[in-house]
Amino acid sequence: SLIQTTSGSLISKQSVLNPDFAAMITEMLIELDIDSEDTVSVAYTGSYPGANLAVLSALETLDVSAVIISSCGSSEYGATHPDFTWIDMEKHLSLDRVFSNTSTLASIGGGFDLGTQLGTLGKKVCESSIYNHKIELLNIENSHENIQKRMNHYVDGRDVISLFINVRGGVYSSGDSLQRS
């Protein structure tokens, strides 16, 4: 696929499709006393559409507001269809009022969240998907500036972010492979 960033694990992608996964996330949020008074921040990617749906379902069930930053690109077995990216899926579900939370900032994804593994056409597909849905594109090469933009976006005008939910392996959410423990 034009927007496939890396190889992926079929077992990992399939495991989050179990409806019990969304129930588990809901239970975790309840245990953390997250409710409709809270705002959470979310980072997710096209690599795990099933996990993204589980998070959105849990948030919807508990009427929790979220500030979401997503990435368009996807590893293998994720949302790799160039005509129906994760950004497209999420927006469709929002317009159909399935979910009230939707991304407000998005990146291409992949290497350094800039699509370094993608060709020019793959990057353009992701940029078009982001722009077509009127989401702000996050495309900053400098790692410190990229992280600062994310932090500012999460806290912009909010008193408190109660929880950060990370459904991705992106370098700006979990560090690079040399720094992860």
State how far the alpha carbon of 111 is from the alpha carbons of 3, 103, 106, 172, 176, in Å. Answer: 12, 20, 14, 10, 10
For the segment 151-161, what is each residue's pLDDT rounded down to a tens digit?
A: 999 999 888 89
Secondary structure (H, E, C), 70-93: EECCECCCCCCCCCCCHHHHHHHH
pLDDT of residue 180: 42
Percent of the chain having pLDDT more than 70?
93
Contact between residue 117 and residue 111 where contact means Cβ atoms under 8 Å apart: yes
First to last CA, the chain: 31
Distance CA 21, CA 88 (A): 23
**Average model confidence (pLDDT) across the chain:** 91
Read off the tokens for 80: 């790799």
For the CA atoms of 161, 167, 169, 174, the dihedral, rounded to the nearest 10 degrees, stands at: 20
Contact between residue 2 and residue 122 where contact means Cβ atoms under 8 Å apart: yes
7: left (phi over 0), alpha (psi -120 to 50) or beta: beta
Distance CA 158, CA 67 (A): 10
Q: Which residue has the higher pLDDT, 126 or 172?
A: 126
Q: 65: helix, coil or strand? A: strand
Angle at 114 between CA 109 and CA 117, to 5 degrees: 80
Distance CA 92, CA 30 (A): 28
For the segment 81-128, what is each residue's pLDDT rounded down to a tens digit?
A: 999 999 999 999 999 999 999 999 999 998 888 989 999 999 999 999
